[in-house]
Structure formats: structure tokens, C-alpha cells
Chain A
Amino acid sequence: MFRAFAGGVLLFIFAGVLQSALLSQWHLLHGTADAVLLAWAVWVLYEHRYAPPWAWALVAGAVVEVYSALPVGIPLLGYGLAGVAAHYILQRIEEPRIPLLFAFVGIGTILVQGVAFLGRWAFDGVSAPISLVLVQVILPSMLLNTLLALPFYAIVGEWADWTLPPRELIA
């Protein structure tokens, strides 16, 4: 239990550092990849026995909350919604992992970015045409996340294998 919790928290902190220091500089139009979302999406494929996906999503959202200047609670809400969606999906389908990963990444990107934009609109008065936001920010971000999903799957999968106890011991 402790190893799983520590492994997840360390993973999301490292993903936050990677996101802030590196990935936020790489733009496709005006979208960027989200390392924390990708790390979360892979992690919950491996670990959803100790804690449900929405709980891990709240941990990931808390990490982003520290790094981001988004209004308080917005990252938690965005990641939390993505976690609820993942929880709903995992209750029905557990395999195969790769299509699930792309589903989590796609749905997660839309929810996290959509909530971030709505948060800025509600709290900061920021407005922009929805089509512009979709075409210039959300869809390019989703494409970048999709492209990086498999490399993250390989790396985070190794991390999960190393940190999580063997499955037979969990049961």
C-alpha cells in the first residue's frame, strides 16, 4: 500500500517537473502535451486496486495545482472528472490496456483542458471563441498527448512494475 502510494506520488511529482521544465515549451499550434495526465493515465491502468482512478486523479490534480496559476480547485476538478470517467470505464472494461490508455488520454485531455478554459472564463473573465479554443489548443494538445502515450506507457509501465507489488500478492 505504502509502496503504491509513494510510487504514484513520486511519479506525478516527476511528471510535473518534466511538464513545467520541458513539455510546456513544446507547442503544436497553441497546445501542449500534459505529462501529468499521461503519467496518470498509464498509472491507473496498472494500479486501481489500492485506490480508484479518481483518487489518483486527485493526487495528479494536486501536483498540477502547485505548479499552475489556474484558479484554485480547477486542476483538481479537471483531473477529478477525468478520474471519474476512467473509473466508470474501468468498471466495465479492464483489458486490453492500449485502447484504454488512448481512451483515458483523449477523454482526460478534453476534460482537463475544457475545465481549465471554463475556469479562466469564470474566474478571470477570459473569453475566446470555442472553435478557436478547440482548434488551436485542445485538439493539438490531444494529438500531442496521443503521440506521447505509448512512450509514457513503456516508461511508466517499467516504473509500475518496479514499485507495485506482484499481482498475485495483492489478492
Chain B
Amino acid sequence: MKRPSLPRLAIGLMMAGLVLLALGGYLTPWLGRLVQPVLQAQTAVVRYARAVADYLAAPTDVETLRRRNRELEAQVAQLQTQLAILQQQVAELELYAALLDLARAHPEHEYKTAQVIGRDPSPFMHYIIINVGSDDDIRPGMPVVSAQGLAGQVDAVIPRAARVRLITDPASKVNVRVTPANVDALLVGSVTGDLQLRMVPLDAKINVGDLVVTSGLGGQYPPNLLVGQIASTQRLAHALFQEATVQPATDFANLKVVLVITNFRPVDITPLIPTPIGPAP
């Protein structure tokens, strides 16, 4: 039997020693340091391999994403449209609720709802056009109110539409009462749409904020319809009457829906007004 040579024995002993040291856990830190670069290299290889794989698979993913994006955009647009419609319906509902409140406050009247579909082309004419007419039993002279208060009076009628003269029109005259002073006066419009209170006695105590309602005198409007509030007063020493400006309750710039009071017939009292008698021949 051949005896092992010395170098081979030394190597065998060293390897056995290393194995024993490894099994005993004495080489773990050293092995960790040796393995670390290998792990890093493997991680890098995997990362680059995945990147290449993703790049090769990208076209189908992008197409899927684009399709999904289009679907979501269409859905957002649809929801936005629905939201706008709902907001409009809520606004209309609030408007009709306000009109209903007004109708409940004056149960003695019968109303016909109408939408404002146009305005007079001339800036000197404060008129609106509504979408109800003689087919809906609308007649000239019927008062028109908004959710806030008096708006005007029906001026002319055709079968499916009517023209309404607003109280801001310069030719409009409304007999009103100022409360709580309980003073009768005449409310007139103007070219600029401002409302002026005329024929207020000098001794009448009217103040800013007092309410102005229709008096019913003259037979053109029913009584107790809110018109507005006193905004300012003017009292001139040499004048026979004091004057005031009135802030209308109705927002005439945003008039969209109105109510026509259909059971009120204006009274023409012109024949009852005495005419001046001329000098005897």
C-alpha cells in the first residue's frame, strides 16, 4: 500500500480543518463577504433581465392602458354632464320651491308658471317675453310676479307667448304702500331701470329699509304684493312731496321663471277720472 505524500496530506488536513471550521460557524463572516458580490451580480442580472422583458412586453400594456384611459375619460365626461344636469335641476327646484312659497303666501291668487324666453331688443324698453299666451288663458293686464316679488304686468298676448312690461320700465307706474309708515305713493320706473317713489307726502315718515308693497289703488295690481325696500330718501325743502329710491325685491337681470296671476282682472278706471271743465263759451 502506497503511503500518501506529505503535501497531499497537508492539503487534506487543511481542507478537513476548513470544513470543520465552516461546520462550527467560524467561517460565516468570511463566507458572507465572499458571497455578497455574487448576490449583487445576480440581482443586477435579474433586474436587467426583467427590464428587457418589460420592454418587450410593453406595447400590449401601453395599448391596454390607453384603452382604459379612454374609457375612464369617457366615464368622467359622462359623470360631469350628469353633475351639471343635476346642479341645474337643483337650481330649478330651488326656484320652483321659492315660487311655491310665494304662491302659498298668497293663496287667494291663481298662478300660471311661465319661463322667460326673451327680452326686448331695445335698451329703452324694459320688457320680457314669456312662453305662455292666450292659449293658456293669459290676458293683457294680468300681474306677473317672481319668486321675490312683483315683476310687472302682461302687456300683449299672442297664442303661445306674451310680452310683459317690467315695473322698471320708464312708462311703468305702480300704486304702492310703504310699511310700516302706511303711506301711499306712486312707484315709477326709469330709463336706467331704477325705481323711484313719487308723491310721498312731506310729513310721512319713511325710512331706509321700509317695505314697499302694492296698494291695490287704481285697480291695476292686487294689493300686498312685495315690490322692494326703500334704499334712500330725498326731502327737499321747497318741494311739495318727498321722493325715495326703491331697491326692487326681484332680480330683473336674472329673471328666468315667473308666475302670472290669472284670476286678477285689472280695472280701467279712466272713465271715472273727472276731466277738467273748460271755460263757458
> In the complex, A116 Cα to B119 Cα: how many Å?
16
The digit string for A1-45, where 1 denotes a CB below 8 A from any CB of B, is 000000000000000100111001101001110111000000000
| Partner pick for B124 among A20, A67, A113, A125, CB 8 A cutoff | A113
A20 x B191 contact (CB < 8 A): no
Q: Are B118 and A124 in contact (CB under 8 A)?
A: no
Instruction: Let me know if B13 is at the binding interface, CB within 8 A.
Output: no
A69 within 8 Å of B by Cβ? yes
Interface of A is mostly: helix
Q: Tally the A-B contacts, defined by beta carbons under 8 Å.
A: 84
Other than A75-B122, A120-B170, give 14 A-B pairs with Cβ distance below 8 A.
A19-B121, A20-B120, A34-B121, A67-B118, A68-B122, A69-B156, A69-B163, A69-B165, A70-B125, A128-B170, A128-B190, A128-B191, A132-B191, A136-B191
B76 at the A/B interface (Cβ < 8 Å)? no
Closest residue of chain A to B191 (Cβ to Cβ) is A128
Q: B39: shortest Cβ distance to chain A, in Å?
A: 72
- Jot down 14 A-B pairs with beta carbons below 8 A, ordered by A: A20-B119, A24-B119, A27-B253, A35-B121, A68-B121, A68-B127, A69-B127, A69-B163, A113-B123, A120-B171, A125-B171, A126-B124, A133-B191, A141-B123
Give complex CA distance A141, B122 in Å.
Answer: 10
State in angstroms the CA–CA spacing of A163 and B121 once bound together.
26
Taking the complex as formed, is B155 at the interface, i.e. its CB lies under 8 A from any CB of chain A?
Answer: yes
Q: Could you tell me how many residues of chain B have their Cβ less than 8 Å away from some Cβ of chain A?
A: 22
Contact residue range for chain A? 20 to 34
**How far, in angstroms, from A16 to B129 measured CA to CA in the complex?**
13
Nearest-Cβ distance from residue A16 to partner chain B, whole angstroms: 7
Q: Is A59 an interface residue (CB 8 A)?
A: no
A86 at the interface (CB under 8 A from B): no
Asked whether B82 is an interface residue with its Cβ less than 8 Å from the other chain, the reply is no
The B interface is mostly helix, strand or loop, or mixed, namely loop
Find out whether the CB atom of A126 lies under 8 angstroms from the CB atom of B120. no
CB–CB B125/A30 < 8 A = no
Distance to closest chain B CB from A60 (angstroms): 11
The answer on a CB contact under 8 Å between B121 and A137 is: no
Contact with B along A113-142 (1 / 0, CB 8 A): 100110010001110100011001100010
Shortest distance between the CB of B211 and any CB in chain A (Å): 26
Bound-state CA distance A24–B126 (Å) is 10
Q: A64 at interface (Cβ–Cβ under 8 A)?
A: yes
For chain B residues 112-162, which have a beta carbon within 8 Å of chain A? 117-125, 127, 129, 155-156
B124–A116 CB distance below 8 A: yes
Report A-chain residues with C-beta under 8 Å of the C-beta of B171: 120, 124-126
Contact across chains for A136 and B192 when beta carbons are under 8 A apart: yes
> Known contacts being A69-B125, A128-B170, is A24 close to B120, with CB within 8 Å?
yes
- Name the distance in Å between B121's Cβ and chain A's nearest Cβ: 5
List the 9 closest pairs (A to B, CB-CB), nearest first: A20-B118, A24-B119, A126-B170, A124-B171, A128-B191, A69-B127, A19-B121, A32-B123, A116-B122
